[in-house]
């Protein structure tokens, strides 16, 4: 399979290594230094694009792929205010767009555990829920996309909460779900959901030991998505 990599930083390089190790060919490796090469590519030879760039580039990268009829697998976070426009474009062009805030199989199981736990806690008013995430210092967006996905899972069931905010936000109230975002090297990613009361705490936690799980998941999705249409997610891939 011929794979275009959009965003050739630390994650992109690991994705490229895994893809080549699985017998795939890298059609091109695009980053901010050589983005002008995009318009010179033979798009007919590209089977799928894997997009792990930066928040300021992700939307344009995804829209370019949909314009060219290239299935795109995106894992960049921090740009989702424009997600509805991508959905509209994908539907209008009968394209293929796969998005996940995290491609680790373990994290996506953790998402499901989080949703299940929040359902159990919806009537337990004595508990206050908190989220914490820890990433390396090069991660630009805060909170992480994974933390936002966890927050959405909590908010789906705890309807006395109005939304999430960063824990250091001066406008934080009791009606908000607080997220503490820490940037500590070389942490690849830790996420903790805690329900705390005067009597006890209930805590679930996922700790990534490296970026390998995220990168491998993205390549497996790229293999799976070929030939499919529409807006897809890890729930589709894992049948969760």
Quick: pLDDT tens for 168-200.
999 999 999 999 999 999 888 899 999 999 999
What residues have CB less than 8 Å from 62, skipping those under 6 apart?
A: 51, 72, 74, 86, 97
Q: Give catalytic residues, as residue numbers.
A: 135, 139
- pLDDT at position 186 is 87
DSSP string for residues in 132-176: EEEE-TT--SSS-HHHHHHHHHHHHH-TT--EEEETT-TT--TTE
Report pLDDT digits (tens) over 8-48: 998 999 999 999 999 999 999 999 899 999 989 999 999 99
- pLDDT at position 240 is 57
- pLDDT at position 210 is 85
In angstroms, rounded to a whole number, what is the distance separating the alpha carbons of residues 78 and 6? 16
pTM over 0.85: no
- pLDDT at position 217 is 94
In angstroms, rounded to a whole number, what is the distance separating the alpha carbons of residues 63 and 93? 11
Provide, rounded to the nearest whole percent, the portion of the chain with pLDDT above 90.
Answer: 84
Which of helix, strand or coil describes residue 181?
strand
Domains of the chain: 2-103+212-238 (3.40.50.720), 105-207 (3.30.360.10)
């Amino acid at each position: 399979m011929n794979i275009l990599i959009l965003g050739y930083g630390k994650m992109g390089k690991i994705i490229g290594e895994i893809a080549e190790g699985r017998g795939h060919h890298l059609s091109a490796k695009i980053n901010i230094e050589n983005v002008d090469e995009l318009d010179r590519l033979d798009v007919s030879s590209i089977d799928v694009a894997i997009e792990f760039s930066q928040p300021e580039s992700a939307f344009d990268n995804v829209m370019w792929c949909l314009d060219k009829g290239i299935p795109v697998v995106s894992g960049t976070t921090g740009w989702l205010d424009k997600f509805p426009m991508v959905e509209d474009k994908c539907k209008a062009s009968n394209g293929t767009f796969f998005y996940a805030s995290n491609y680790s199989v373990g994290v996506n199981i953790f998402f499901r555990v989080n949703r299940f736990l929040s359902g159990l806690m919806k009537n337990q008013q004595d508990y206050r829920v908190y989220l914490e995430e820890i990433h390396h210092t090069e991660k630009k967006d805060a909170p992480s996309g994974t933390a936002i996905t966890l927050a959405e899972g909590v908010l789906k069931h705890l309807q006395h909460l109005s939304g999430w905010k960063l824990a250091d936000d001066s406008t934080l109230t009791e009606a908000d779900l607080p997220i503490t975002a820490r940037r500590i090297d070389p942490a690849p990613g830790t996420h903790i959901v805690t329900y705390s009361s005067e009597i006890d705490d209930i805590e679930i936690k996922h700790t990534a030991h490296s970026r390998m799980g995220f990168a491998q998941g993205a390549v497996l999705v790229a293999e799976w998505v070929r030939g499919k249409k529409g807006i897809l997610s890890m729930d589709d891939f894992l049948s969760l």
